[in-house]
Chains A and B, each alone.
Chain A
Amino acid sequence: MRVNPNTLPDLLAALQQSQQQINTDLAEIASGKSVNVPSDSPAAAAGLVQNASDTSAADQFLRSIGSIQGEVQNADSTLNSVITALQRAISLGVEGASSTLNPADRAAIATEVQGIQSQLLSLANLSYQGSYVFAGTATQTPPYVLDPTSPSGVTYVGNSGVNSVTLGNHFTMQTNLPGSQLLSASGSDMFQAVQDLITGLQSGTGIAAAVGEISTAYNYIDTQRVFYGNADNQLSSQQTYLNSETTQLAQQQNSLGGADLAAVISNLVNAQTSRQATLQAIGGTIRTDLFDFIK
């Protein structure tokens, strides 16, 4: 049986193969990725597309949470000031109801309550990063304007719109309370209550009733503002959840397309050894044949 006398092409083909293996391994080590082009692993490449999209979305949710949380915390601390102001108004009203006072004294108290009224107007028109927080969705103009023709002294020109924002997969959250629901709701309108107290102090009658109104408004707002406290908590816990989801996504990304450095380096060493051996074999192929021995 005659054997192939020319083995050089086979050795060269083996050499090329080992070189290709070395190149692939080096690329994987340099990039840290086992999937550098889709053909490296089509299913993993497709999975990585989805993974990248999910990771990017999670990062965006965290950013959106950041900007909403600022507004929510601002609103909450503003409402804290409102509550404090109303408390002050209540004590002024109680003082003004005392029968030992004369009209001049009551007038002085009324002036102080007017100061509180201005403060409440300014707090109700809270603006955060260019938008009015308690205006519903009419956020480009102040929701409360002074209006001498109105019984409460102000008119609400915002609306009752509420926004919900998607902040996670299947997770949306309401992000605002309109002033019409919170501050000037029918039956517990803080402006009306304060105006009534001023009128009462100036006229000398109905002070106790006005104080009762302010108490009602105070309790109502104190209850309503829980919305903002809850919102803050929800945002924080969603933040925690998203952070852990980001970690999981990173792990998934690594398992789909990350290089197993130990295995790759071991492959590289094998390929280099094989290449060395092949080179030596080829070198030995420059061998002697019968012609060298014929004299």
Chain B
Amino acid sequence: MSSLNASLVIALSGLSAEQGALEATTNNVANVNTPGYTREVPVLATNDPVVVGALTFGTGVDLQSIESIRDPILESRIQQETQIQGQLNALVSALQQTQVNFTGNSGDIGTAISNFFNSVNQLSADPANLSVRQGVLTAADNLATAFNVTANNLTAQRGSLDQSVAQTVGQVNQLSQQIAQLNTQIADLQNAGESAGTFLDQRTHLIDQLSGLVDVSVIPSDNTLTLTTANGSVLVAGQQSFQLQTQTSASGVQHIYAQNVDITGSITSGQLGGLLQARDQQIPGLETQLDTLASGLANAVNGVQAAGFDLNGKAGTNLFNPPPAGGTGAAASLSVAITDPSLIAASSDGTPGSNGNAEALYALSNQTIISGQTPTGYYSGVVFDVGNSTANASAEQSASDQILQQLNDQRSSISGVSLDQEAANMVQYQQAYAASAQVITTINTMMLDIINMKVSP
């Protein structure tokens, strides 16, 4: 047997369900510009029917849950690509700064090498001329300065990358803490059987940011997740975060420790990975090449000096102060050892007008004295290396940007709020609400009819 009250209850269930659905729609519209927000969809389900005799009566509608529409696999893919993009951004930015040292402007090493040998050729044409000799000393000085300046620039850049590493680690730690906190809130809600949609969105957004900074592996478990670096060092385990530490190493740069284990060498992705690659591989490699060039040149020139005679007929002495044995630091410390122009050993037989040794000095410019290459040839190889590394990284960066854009478009097509759709939903829920309200009005009228029934006398 049906009853008016039962109908009333059914109509009421309709009202509250549509009202709740409308709330979800309103929330979507309000959050249309919130970064990382995934749209919510109300899940409406029919209540279980009751059976009375031979009849089955429905019992209305229930707003079961408000579901966030997200694709976890896509999220994970986006996080991976964000790591790659973060690493490439940091690397390209560093390399673009580095290659400015090698652009062929007037103060650079290549020009200084040419000018030095030019001054030696002038000496060869007029070996006893004091002002021509002074020209050689000046050119040698400029060459040393070019090496010094470039080496110092690279050292300074390495220092600022070092600072960035420390800053980035700080950011990573902050994000870990925030994620752990969210994990607590999510666990609480989910344990209570509630949907934690908003917090999940926030957590995904934070993990995306973290992915931009360091290589992150996400391991979901029951109601929570664990975050580790690619090599397994824990960043967040459930509701607890583990901070990374930085410590100055023996070589003077910051190393990164996770629970007292040095993980610097195993971070290869994210902004931290890019910074470390630039700081520990690209720049030191370049510094070594410059040291090789500087020490090779200085030693070769000093050797030729020793084989000749100066303007006073005495055996030649070092033109450059001898570079460190092994070459490390040669570029930064290169300096001229002579101030008296008569000490340049242009003569090959002790007479003041002989240019034989100056010719030998000039010949160095075409001899393969630096690792099988001429000095200029070696330097042009360095320029190629720097340009090539930068160009390759830039190309990869463009590709990564495009992939990430596509992935974000995909995520937006799944989880993004469409105002058109929300407007249509709003109309739909509003009409249903109006219909249920109308039903209630009708039931009310029917009840009044019953109450006002009179028995005729």
Contact = CB atoms under 8 A, between A and B. Distances in A.
B353 interface: yes
B115 interface: yes
Contacts of A269: none
A129 B126 contact: yes
Contacts of A131: 126, 128-129, 353
A49 B104 contact: yes
A165 B118 contact: no
A2 B411 CA distance: 11
Interface residues on A, range: 35 or more
B426 interface: yes
B57 interface: no
Main SS at interface, chain B: helix
B257 interface: no
B426 A294 contact: yes
A37 B121 contact: no
A38 B418 contact: no
A56 B115 contact: yes
A283 to B, nearest CB: 18
Nearest to B426: A294
A60 B103 contact: no
Interface in A64-94: 64, 67-68
Contacts of A48: 104
A49 B105 CA distance: 10
Contacts of A61: 121
Interface stretch (B3-11, B167-175, B331-339, B388-396): B388-396
B433 interface: no
Interface stretch (B82-90, B187-195, B276-284, B378-386): B378-386
Given A5-B419, A36-B103, A38-B384, A57 B126 contact: no
A154 to B, nearest CB: 20
Nearest to A169: B366
A130 B356 CA distance: 19
A226 interface: no
Interface stretch (A118-126, A132-140, A213-221): A132-140
Contacts, number: 184
Contact of A53 (B103, B110, B356, B416): B110
A238 interface: no
Nearest to B404: A13
Given A39-B390, A49-B110, A52-B104, A67 B405 contact: no
Contact of B424 (A37, A139, A166, A290): A290
Given A38-B386, A49-B383, A6 B416 contact: yes
Given A138-B351, A161-B354, A166-B359, A43 B126 contact: no
Nearest to B32: A6
Contacts of B129: 129-131
Interface in A155-210: 159, 161, 163-166, 169, 172, 175
Contacts of A36: 103
Contacts of B354: 137, 161, 163
B122 A63 contact: yes
B353 A135 contact: yes
B99 interface: yes
B117 A57 contact: yes
B214 interface: no
B271 interface: no
B289 to A, nearest CB: 13
A284 interface: no
A137 B353 contact: yes
B419 A68 contact: no
A138 to B, nearest CB: 5
B114 A67 contact: no
Contacts of B19: none
B322 interface: no
Given A2-B414, A4-B412, A46-B384, A38 B103 contact: yes
A257 B11 CA distance: 80
A60 B387 contact: no
B420 interface: yes
B349 interface: yes
Given A45-B383, A53-B376, A163-B356, A140 B114 contact: no
A41 B387 contact: yes
A9 B408 contact: yes
A166 B121 contact: yes
B114 A45 contact: no
Interface in B341-374: 347, 349, 351-356, 359, 362-363, 365-366
B372 to A, nearest CB: 16
Contacts of B366: 169
15 contacts: A5-B419, A39-B96, A39-B391, A42-B387, A49-B380, A53-B113, A60-B118, A67-B126, A136-B353, A137-B347, A139-B352, A163-B127, A164-B359, A166-B359, A290-B423
